[in-house]
Structure 1
Amino acid sequence: MRADAAGALRAYAAGALRHDLLAAAIVAVLLIPQSLAYALLAGLPPQVGLYASLLPLVAYAAFGSSPLLGIGPVAVLALMISQALAQAPADVGATHAALVLAAEVGLLLAAAAVLRLDALASLLSVPVLRGFETGAALSIALSQLPVLLGASAQGSNLPQVLGSWWGAQTRWSPLTALYGVTAWLALWLARRHASAWLARHMSAARATLLARLAPLMVLVLAIVAATLGDAGAHGVRLVGALPELAPAIALPPLDATLWWRMLPSALLIALVAFVSSLVVAESLARRDGARIEPRRELAGLAAANLAAALSAGMPVAGSFTRSLLNLDAGARTRMAGVFTAALMGGVLLLLGRPLAALPAAVLAATIVVAVLPVLDWRPFREAWRYSRSEGVLMSAVAALTVLQGVTWALGVGVAASIALLLQRTARPHVALIGRVAGTEHYRNVDRHEVQLTAGVMALRIDESLLFTNARALADVVQQQLAHYRESHPDTRRLVLLMSPVNRIDFSGLEALRALHAMLAAHGIRLDLSEVKGPVLDALRAGGWTEWFTGQVFLSHHHAMLDRGVLRQAQSD
């Protein structure tokens, strides 16, 4: 065992160590301003974002599965945290409430990992997720506009921002706006053109690296300008002196009222953190062939959030920006995150004092530039063309996020997704099928030229029979049969093609029993074809042989040609 461990360490040192260290050195410096900005966006002191970027990275490395996923504060979660903190009791500080949120998110994700509930990610359908991302990006940009322009307004949704701005004592500060707008313009130009411009004068790899460092250069220039111009004395809001980097390892407040008040928000934050992190991890895995285990991602995120709760941080998740930085900087394993945490701590010891002179408007500019690329209206057009109901759902979630808040948007989105699913599956789709001439293939009579078999009606069940749709099975088949027998009165046998059916629950079993009895009362025999093995095992375990008198055929074509069964049915 020791020999294997020593061999693995030697292989790592010879292969990935150098790449992970280099990536960590690049990423650590770039993530400091981002961590500060997202803490301020959440309504927390800036050092909370830094603490959330240290131990959580180490915890995820121990339990997660993605080699490249960058863990830390993220913009969407920061918006959700900001709105959640408004629900905290008035006598509880924001930092204490954030610790409880992080602890609850960690415990919820840990419970989901233990109970193997990674399938809960499906609660956030693509329309809900896309609508939420777009609405959250707009809300984040709106919430940062007052900071960018030097207004005293604040808020996390459109009505709050506009109402606060209308009654604000300071609606804008020319000098603050100069810092904010200049920084935003520089960051936007760097994002769009720096790499291509630099590539004219150096190698593409070096140009990409320097372009990635452009945000850091903007921050350095802003600090220099603010220091030389004594911006703080002229009314420009600065980040201010950061406390000494010494996150205390301690339990979050054990206040039952606070924990209960934060729980609904923690549930939504945990769900969004897992889904968004899994999407990022799987996207990166497709690029380098890595394998992502959803259950381990739950465990890794749980450990990261618990570490944040114990080290004065805030809820964290996988960040697409951080992850791309890891990828572009050449990271190979999760150890890059551990090195990033260590190097960030060292860098903060050196840069803590200069960061105090950074204008808050410049941090706001970094947030706005980071979230604007999320605004993509193409999915809305595509969803509208493909499914009007899903297009409406996506637009409604985006609008609710901007106008009302994250909790309402996600709650309505999940409820509406479930309602749409129930609506679409409330009646199983049953198709009348016939044989395509000259083949053994059977297709829908409404879509293909087919031949029907005398005395036999063939139906295809196009979905699993579950409690959501099973009750309607007999009614749907009876309607098809009544219409069919108008032109085929000699029908004495019904064959159900079951190949699309992946599962039959107890409600489905009872529906089959009711269908069997109804057909028998009309003198019609029920047969099944192409039943999948696990489905047939479940039917046998349910004791269906006690009442089912038909036959099960391996091939639907053979079922349709079985004249012996037809003669028997006709003689009964």
Structure 2
Amino acid sequence: MTRDPAPQGGWRTYRQQYLREDLLAALVVSVLLIPQSIAYAMLAGLPPQVGLYASLLPLMAYAALGSSPHLGLGPVAVLALVIAQTLAQAPPGVSPSEAALVLAAEVGIILALAAALRLDALAALLSVPVLHGFETGATLSIAASQLPVLLGSPAKGFELPALLESAAASGFAFQPLAAAYGLAALLLLLAARRWLRGMWARLAPLAVLLGAMALAAASDALSRGVPLVGTLPPLHLGLSLPRLDAQLWLAMLPGALMVALVGYVSSLVVAESLGRRANVRIDARAELRGLAGANMAAALSGGMPVAASFSRSVLMADAGSRTRMTGVFIAFAMGGAMLALAGPLALLPKAVLGATILVAVLSGLKLGPYRDAWRYAKPEGLLMVAVSLMVLCWSVTAALGLGVLGSIALLLQRTARPHVALLGRVPGTEHYRNVDRYEVERLPGVLALRIDESLLFTNARSLTDVVQTYLAPHPETRRVVLQMTPVNAIDFSGLEALRELHDTLARREIRLDLSEVKGPVLDRLRAGHWERWFRGRLFLSHHQGMEAQD
């Protein structure tokens, strides 16, 4: 795959080949990022300007350190849910904005340490079923939390039980005019997605926000009881350190670990998906560094934790982004928007923001993977459903814990007993296949088995029992030949299991032979001095092993 071309040429080459495409892509994406930055900051329980700040310097930091030319960085809906629940754990006397800066700093430090320690394999902690279940549950939870905002209701909460309890406590009250704003915005946004195409569809969210602000100003919506965003403080990008409070940093740490893991995994999935489409190589460690730098920049510039948005990243790719300079241009466009919209944003009805969030998050809702997972592997389908329900009804912390533990449990279940196949020769050939799947010939007195797993501590203990199960119906066996082609690794537990099998067979006067052992595996066996106890023979091919004389 090719690399991001920007670093390989000078400014003249870049200007001639990529500048126009990157500028156009930046203008398109910034139109979508403006309302999303405001909405996701408020979704996380933060002032709207925090989302705008998180869309400036973090994008530049990622452009300097990351590897994807298509990653649309900034506030993200799924992370906003985790951030909101984490900020609720802040000590008394600490404002959400101060806690968000500490949270972003910790996320940046965690990702930087992961990059330094080459822990990019952390992405494997969240399997596809867990990641999809988490994202779907978070999507539904976010959508549910915005229904009261959409209707002008005082009810609050992300989890369904808390949300219903809050709604019941308020007598399921709502503000009719606010609901009218929210429902009208919702219908307009849905209609735009259905009927508009290209640039017009991308401009629709911003147009709805501007129209709502104009209407709210003309009708004096605030005096009529419509909740508004309210007056923002002067928007200026000031650099300062997060609050240095040990109690605060400890309180934010568990949430920071979750934000870092979810943000990195989801961002890497997006980057690799778009990278394959555009034939661009994605460096997982560079993604760690890029996200670390972006979150540190957010912590120093009044922002919030950031990650990649799938919708914005796809839009960047479709709009023609060629290099990471697109992110720099987006930051400049966002800076201009901050100056232009600082005053009008105070008049924005919160119900319209709620409609924007609803449409944005529900547009990415996919239920097909549940059906596919259930058909392919029911335990993984059940895990996906369980994670979604856990997010929706309990908390993201419990959902992620369940997901990781569930994935480990399923892995252990699959590998706890090594799959061993009884082999026979396909007539007229030197090929050996499973007797349960092919018409094959078997040699009397020689038991041919194939181990279909690496021999590790998770499954090695049962190796002898599995082989003896095949020996029981064949008491005439004089030799057992193990085909080792699928075995990619043998750890110390596997070595001891192989030795136990060798000694058990020797006591029954049966010789154990091995065939087609891979070089790295054989190197490990020799390092373990297996020649001190192994009395069988080693064959280059399985056919040689079967034809050998006793």
TM-score range, shorter chain: over 0.9
Q: Which amino acid aligns with 1:81?
A: I
Displacement of 1:325 after TM fit?
2.2
Output the CA distance in 1 between the equivalents of 2:540 and 2:346.
75
1:205 corresponding residue in structure 2:
none
With normalisation by structure 2, the TM-score equals 0.97
Mapping for residues 47-126 of structure 1, pairs under 5 Å: 47-126=49-128
2:328 corresponding residue in structure 1:
338
User: Which residues of structure 2 form unaligned runs of 5+?
Assistant: 1-5
Output the CA distance in 2 between the equivalents of 1:492 and 1:319.
62
Displacement of 1:378 after TM fit?
1.4
Contact 1:29 1:347 in 2 (8 A): no
Of the candidates 527, 545, 548, which is equivalent to residue 559 of structure 1? 545
Q: Which amino acid aligns with 1:60?
A: Y
Q: Which amino acid aligns with 2:41?
A: A
Contact 2:54 2:305 in 1 (8 A): yes
1:521 corresponding residue in structure 2:
507
Contact 2:31 2:202 in 1 (8 A): no
Output the CA distance in 2 between the equivalents of 1:150 and 1:232.
12
Q: Which amino acid aligns with 1:295?
A: R
Output the CA distance in 2 between the equivalents of 1:502 and 1:127.
26
Of the candidates 408, 414, 434, which is equivalent to residue 444 of structure 1? 434
**Are residues 1:401 and 2:391 paired?**
yes
1:426 corresponding residue in structure 2:
416
Contact 2:275 2:282 in 1 (8 A): yes
1:508 corresponding residue in structure 2:
494
Give the percent of matched residue pairs that are identical in Structure 1 and Structure 2.
Answer: 65
Q: Which amino acid aligns with 1:160?
A: A
**Are residues 1:283 and 2:285 paired?**
no
Question: What SS class does the counterpart of residue 472 from structure 2 fall into?
Answer: helix
Output the CA distance in 2 between the equivalents of 1:403 and 1:484.
55
Output the CA distance in 1 between the equivalents of 2:381 and 2:27.
43
Mapping for residues 89-238 of structure 1, pairs under 5 Å: 89-168=91-170, 171-195=173-197, 208-238=198-228
Output the CA distance in 2 between the equivalents of 1:477 and 1:7.
61
Contact 2:212 2:348 in 1 (8 A): yes
**Are residues 1:473 and 2:463 paired?**
yes
1:25 corresponding residue in structure 2:
27
Contact 2:152 2:178 in 1 (8 A): yes
Displacement of 1:515 after TM fit?
1.1
Displacement of 1:6 after TM fit?
10
Of the candidates 333, 350, 357, which is equivalent to residue 367 of structure 1? 357
Closer, same or farther: CA 140–7 of 1 in aligned 2, 3 Å = closer
Q: Which amino acid aligns with 1:414?
A: V
With normalisation by structure 1, the TM-score equals 0.93
Question: What SS class does the counterpart of residue 374 from structure 1 fall into?
Answer: coil
Contact 1:400 1:409 in 2 (8 A): yes
Question: What SS class does the counterpart of residue 481 from structure 2 fall into?
Answer: strand
Question: What SS class does the counterpart of residue 308 from structure 2 fall into?
Answer: strand
**Are residues 1:316 and 2:318 paired?**
no
Q: Which amino acid aligns with 2:121?
A: A
Mapping for residues 345-360 of structure 1, pairs under 5 Å: 345-360=335-350
Q: Which amino acid aligns with 2:324?
A: R
Closer, same or farther: CA 93–461 of 1 in aligned 2, 3 Å = same
1:494 corresponding residue in structure 2:
480
Task: Map Cα deviations across residues 400-455 of structure 1 (whole Å, 9 max, x no partner).
Answer: 11000111111111111111111111111111111111222211112222111122
Contact 1:226 1:358 in 2 (8 A): yes
Displacement of 1:247 after TM fit?
2.9
Q: Which amino acid aligns with 2:388?
A: A
Of the candidates 10, 13, 18, which is equivalent to residue 8 of structure 1? 10
Displacement of 1:138 after TM fit?
0.5
Of the candidates 430, 441, 446, which is equivalent to residue 456 of structure 1? 446
Closer, same or farther: CA 184–5 of 1 in aligned 2, 3 Å = closer
Displacement of 1:119 after TM fit?
1.1
Displacement of 1:482 after TM fit?
2.0
Output the CA distance in 2 between the equivalents of 1:170 and 1:100.
36
Q: Which amino acid aligns with 2:548?
A: D
Output the CA distance in 2 between the equivalents of 1:553 and 1:451.
20
Displacement of 1:5 after TM fit?
8.5
Q: Which amino acid aligns with 1:468?
A: T
Task: Map Cα deviations across residues 207-226 of structure 1 (whole Å, 9 max, x no partner).
Answer: x1222111111112111111
- Please tell me the root mean square deviation across aligned C-alpha atoms, in Å: 1.5
Of the candidates 261, 273, 285, which is equivalent to residue 271 of structure 1? 261
Q: Which amino acid aligns with 2:539?
A: F
